[in-house]
Structure 1
Amino acid sequence: MTTIRDLFGGAIVSHIPPTFIDVSDIREIADNQEVFADVNSDESIVIEILQYVNEPSNEDAVRYHFASLAHDNDAEDFNTIQQITELTALEVPKLPSDTPKYLLVGQQQISKFDERDPSARNLVTILMALFRFPNIQTDIVITCNIPVILGATSSSRLVTQEGDVNEGYEEFRKILTSFDIKDWGLFNA
């Protein structure tokens, strides 16, 4: 089932899996983010409009965003990048063909709710897409977080199950192929 949802007031549209709820219905979310969480697992999808980072290469830029996520997740000591690949126009067909587009696959160990016990850390596979728009000084980062091993003392164990990376990747692929910027005026705000 394909579910196309309005993002950023309809300026962007994309597939979001039907089991994912809009987190802004539960808590406040920053204006530059759209956040969705799966009702059946701890999987989440975050779409962010960020300031363009000036790195020597586009691959360095996606590494920068992954490191920033590791910092935000308190996972600097528990993160690895497994691969970085350039996405093709077939994989992201609705963006201008000259848009630099990258996919990073990595893992981080993340605790929820500031749980400090090391055995509370969940091993999370991170799928991260980076779309770069130097002419408008904007990076768009789409992140899918898939917990693949729940920590022995993680509070997640009480309410959820471990995610399926293959299924998560398939949904992520649908997000990328449907991602469409309908109103470029969004970036002039």
Structure 2
Amino acid sequence: MNLGRKEETKQRKKRPLFGDAISSTFPLRFQDVSDIRQVPDHQEVFVDPARDESLIFELVDFKNDVGDNGSASRFLQDLAVGQYAEGSVIIEQSGVIEVPGLCYRNVPAIVTTAVGQMVLEIFSLFHLLVLDCIVESEHEDKLKAYYCIQLKMAISKGRQGREAQNIVRVYLANLRLKEVRTDVLITAYEPILINPLSESAGMVGAGFSIPAEQSGCIPMGEVFKLAVSSFKVNEWSLFGASPSA
């Protein structure tokens, strides 16, 4: 890769989401999937086909039956069920932290992080983008605090079976805003090991993924942190709320 291309892959920009009602900053190498196919109204999906990495923003109903400390585990379980995981384990979870920069009517979001692992047999990373959603919801208009889950998962492409599993690291942030009754999920997918029998091998090559730094890219973990830390609500009316925050 030439120096010009390396610099290009590191460029980042504030991107409008949900009709510019929300914005977030991340590298330009992530292409808007809605430019080539329809995306569910409650999702914004971006992908870097060259690395089979993706970034998904999703609005789901606030989970009233789950406490803040248990939210990360709950969404991880939902993720496992939705993607046919054989099992999932939360191995680390932080305490609850307020995010004063993301408030509605002076009520701040809260942040909690968790780390988990799961084994999945499902579609390839790229084909995950054609699923309606990662965590199913009944409504599209709500939001309260914020959980991060960094986990490793094995994903089997299509219906190719266990022999074609890929090892993928997934970062999941759950931003929860109680006042507008919505959970926001920010999910980042990063392939670690591509099975030669999987479809992804034909797209990005088999074996261990080339480290982002060697490709001149911002590492996916940093992309995720940037997307989450820069997340901003510009129009609270998106959630059916009064414009005044």
Q: Give CA-to-partner distance per residue, 1:46-81, whole Å, 9 cap, x none.
A: 100100012442232121112222222222x15443
* Structure-2 separation of matches of 1:56 and 1:123: 29
Query: Residues 152 and 39 of structure 1: is their aligned pair in 2 closer, same or farther, counting only changes over 3 Å?
Result: closer
* Structure-2 separation of matches of 1:163 and 1:62: 29
Q: CA deviation at 1:27?
A: 1.8
* Structure-1 separation of matches of 2:41 and 2:48: 21
- The reply on whether 1:21 has 2:31 as its aligned counterpart is yes
Structure 1 counterpart of 2:82: 72
Query: Residues 178 and 59 of structure 1: is their aligned pair in 2 closer, same or farther, counting only changes over 3 Å?
Result: same
Structure 2 counterpart of 1:39: 49
Give structure 2 stretches of 5+ with no counterpart: 1-10, 112-146, 213-217
- The reply on whether 1:110 has 2:155 as its aligned counterpart is yes
Aligned-CA RMSD value? 2.3
The AA in structure 1 aligned to 2:196 is: A
- Which has the larger displacement, 165-174 or 123-132? 165-174
Aligned residues: 185
- The reply on whether 1:11 has 2:21 as its aligned counterpart is yes
- Which has the larger displacement, 95-104 or 139-148? 95-104
Structure 2 counterpart of 1:95: 102
Give structure 1 stretches of 5+ with no counterpart: none
Q: Give CA-to-partner distance per residue, 1:135-181, whole Å, 9 cap, x none.
A: 22100010001111112311101111526488111111111221110
Structure 2 counterpart of 1:148: 192
Q: Give CA-to-partner distance per residue, 1:111-147, whole Å, 9 cap, x none.
A: 23x2332121111111111111122210001000111
* Structure-1 separation of matches of 2:151 and 2:87: 11
* Structure-2 separation of matches of 1:138 and 1:11: 14
Q: What is the SS of the residue equivalent to 2:219?
A: helix
Query: Residues 179 and 147 of structure 1: is their aligned pair in 2 closer, same or farther, counting only changes over 3 Å?
Result: same
* Structure-1 separation of matches of 2:24 and 2:210: 21
Greater share of strand residues, 1 or 2? 2
Are the equivalent residues in 2 in contact too, given 1:132–1:138 (CA < 8 A)?
Answer: yes
Matching residue within 175, 180, 186 for 2:232: 180
Are the equivalent residues in 2 in contact too, given 1:3–1:17 (CA < 8 A)?
Answer: yes
Q: What TM-score, normalized by structure 1, do the two folds share?
A: 0.87
Q: What is the SS of the residue equivalent to 1:95?
A: strand
Are the equivalent residues in 2 in contact too, given 1:12–1:181 (CA < 8 A)?
Answer: yes
Are the equivalent residues in 1 in contact too, given 2:101–2:108 (CA < 8 A)?
Answer: no
* Structure-2 separation of matches of 1:152 and 1:55: 42
Query: Residues 17 and 81 of structure 1: is their aligned pair in 2 closer, same or farther, counting only changes over 3 Å?
Result: farther
Structure 1 counterpart of 2:125: none
Matching residue within 79, 94, 98 for 1:85: 94
